[in-house]
Amino acid sequence: MSDFKLDLVLGEDFPEPGFRPEKGETISGAAVSKIFSVNSAGRRAISDGFYRGNGADGDSVGHPNDGNGKREHGSGKKSGPLISGTAYCISSCGMILLNKIVLSTYNFNAGISLMFYQNLISCLIVAALSFCGVVSVEKLNWKLVRVWIPVNVVFVGMLVSGMYSLKYINIAMVTILKNGTNIITAIGELYIFRKHQNQKVWTAMFLMIISAISGGITDLSFDSMGYTWQIMNCFLTASYSVMDKAKQFTRSGSLNEISMVLLNNLLCLPFGIILILVFGEWEYIITTDVIKLPMFWVVATASGLLGLAISFTSMWFLHQTGPTTYSLVGSLNKIPVSFAGLVLFKVPLSLPNFFSILFGLFAGIFFARAKMS
C-alpha cells in the first residue's frame, strides 16, 4: 500500500492553508489514507502526463475555438470536482471496510501478509501503467533507495500497526483515536520546528483528547491490544514524512507522486517478507483454510485495488479543487465510514459511547476548519 491508503486508512492529511504545489515540487504526506492518511505536508497534484493519458484534466477537454468544445469544457469543469470527490470518498471508505472484512469477518490473522499482497498489487499495476505510457515514473537508483529506506521503515510500521488496530477495534473508534495523530504532530511542530498553532487549533485538539478518552472508557468492545497498536500507529503516522533530500538523487530533480507510490510499495516488499518470517505468518498462511475461499481472495484483491485507487483519486480530486476543499471532504468522509462500520459489523454500542464518537467526529471537522483559518 502507499502512504495515501493510510489516509487511508483513516486520518487524511490536511495541507497547510493556502498551500498550492508547484509543478515538479515534491510534497510530503502521511498518510496513511486514506489510503494510507495523516498530518504531514499534503498531496501533490498528479503529473500532466497522467491527466493527458486519462483525460482527467478539465482544461484539456475540447478545443478553444470550437463552440461544442467550449460547452464540453464548461461541463467538464463543473462535473470534475463532483466526480473526483465521489471517487475519492468511495475508494477511501471501501478500502477501510474491505480491510476490516478481511481481518475480522474472515478472521485472517496475518496482517503483514495482507499488507505484502496489497503492496505487490500496487507495484504490478503502477509498473503496467508506466509500461503502457499512461503514467510517468521517475527512474530509481541505489542512492535514492538508500535515502528512502529510513522513511520506508516508518511507513511499514505505520501500515502494520494500522492493520492490527483495525483488526481488534471497531472502525468508529479507530477513526476517533486517529485524531491523536493531529495532536502528536502539532506538539512535534511546536517543540521541533517552533511552529505555533492558533487558539482554535488547540481548542480542537483539546476536544479530540476528551473524545478519545471518553470513547475508550465507554467502548463496550474495548481491546487493550488494539488500543496499543492504534497508539503506536498515531506516533508512527505523525513521524512519517517524505525526505526532500531524496529529490537530489532523481534524474529530474524531483520525485512525482506516482514514483513515490511505486518506491514505497517496492521497498515494502523485502521488509514484508522479513516480517512474515520473523512473526511466523508463513506457517499460518500455509495451514489456514481461509485462503482456500475464492471470496477471500476477491475481497483481499479488491482492498488492494482500492488502496491504490486512493492514491490516484486523491491527487485527481486535489487537482480539480484545492487543499481547502480536499481537507474538509477528507474530514467529513470519516462520518459515513464510521457509521457504516457500526452498522455492517454490528458493533456493541452504548449511548455514552455513541455520543463520544459523534463528539470526536465533530472535533475532527472543527480541527480541519481551524487549520484552514
> Which pLDDT tens digit goes with each residue over 278-320?
988 999 999 999 999 999 999 999 999 998 898 888 888 888 8
29 lies in some domain: no
- In this model, does residue 26 exceed pLDDT 70? no
Per-residue model confidence (pLDDT) at position 250? 54
Three-state SS annotation for the chain: CCCCCEEEECCCCCCCCCCCCCCCCCCCCCCEECCCCCCCCCCCCCCHHHHHHHCCCHHHCCCCCCHHHHHHHHHHHHHHHHHHHHHHHHHHHHHHHHHHHHHHHCCCCCHHHHHHHHHHHHHHHHHHHHHCCCCCCCCCCHHHHHHHHHHHHHHHHHHHHHHHHHHHCCHHHHHHHHCHHHHHHHHHHHHHCCCCCCHHHHHHHHHHHHHHHHHHHHCCCCCHHHHHHHHHHHHHHHHCCCCHHHHHHCCCCCCCHHHHHHHHHHHHHHHHHHHHHHCCHHHHHHHCCHHHCHHHHHHHHHHHHHHHHHHHHHHHHHHHCCHHHHHHHHHHCHHHHHHHHHHHCCCCCCHHHHHHHHHHHHHHHHHHHHHHC
Question: What average pLDDT does the segment 67-84 reach?
Answer: 61
Question: What average pLDDT does the segment 322-347 reach?
Answer: 81
pLDDT band at 371 (very low <50, low <70, confident <90, very high): confident
Say how far apart CA 23 and CA 292 lie, in whole Å: 47
Say how far apart CA 311 and CA 2 lie, in whole Å: 7
11 lies in some domain: no
pLDDT band at 118 (very low <50, low <70, confident <90, very high): very high
329 lies in some domain: yes
- In this model, does residue 23 exceed pLDDT 70? no
Tell me what percent of the residues of the chain surpass a pLDDT of 70.
Answer: 74
pLDDT in tens, 202-247: 888 888 889 888 988 988 888 889 999 999 988 888 876 544 455 5
Per-residue model confidence (pLDDT) at position 49? 33
Take residue 262 and report the three cell numbers written for it. 511505486
51 lies in some domain: no
- Residues 6 or more apart whose Cβ sits within 8 Å of residue 207: 359, 362, 363, 366
- In this model, does residue 14 exceed pLDDT 50? no
Per-residue model confidence (pLDDT) at position 306? 92
39 lies in some domain: no
- In this model, does residue 262 exceed pLDDT 70? yes
Say how far apart CA 131 and CA 137 lie, in whole Å: 9
pLDDT band at 251 (very low <50, low <70, confident <90, very high): low
Q: Which residues pair with 97 in a beta bridge?
A: none
52 lies in some domain: no
Per-residue model confidence (pLDDT) at position 335? 84
> Which position has the grid cell 505487490?
120
Say how far apart CA 251 and CA 132 lie, in whole Å: 21
9 lies in some domain: no
Note whether 80 and 325 are within 8 A (CB): no
40 lies in some domain: no
- In this model, does residue 200 exceed pLDDT 50? yes
Split into its structural domains, the chain has a count of 1
Note whether 258 and 47 are within 8 A (CB): yes
Q: What range defines the domain where residue 155 resides?
A: 81-371
Tell me which of 251 and 23 has the higher pLDDT: 251
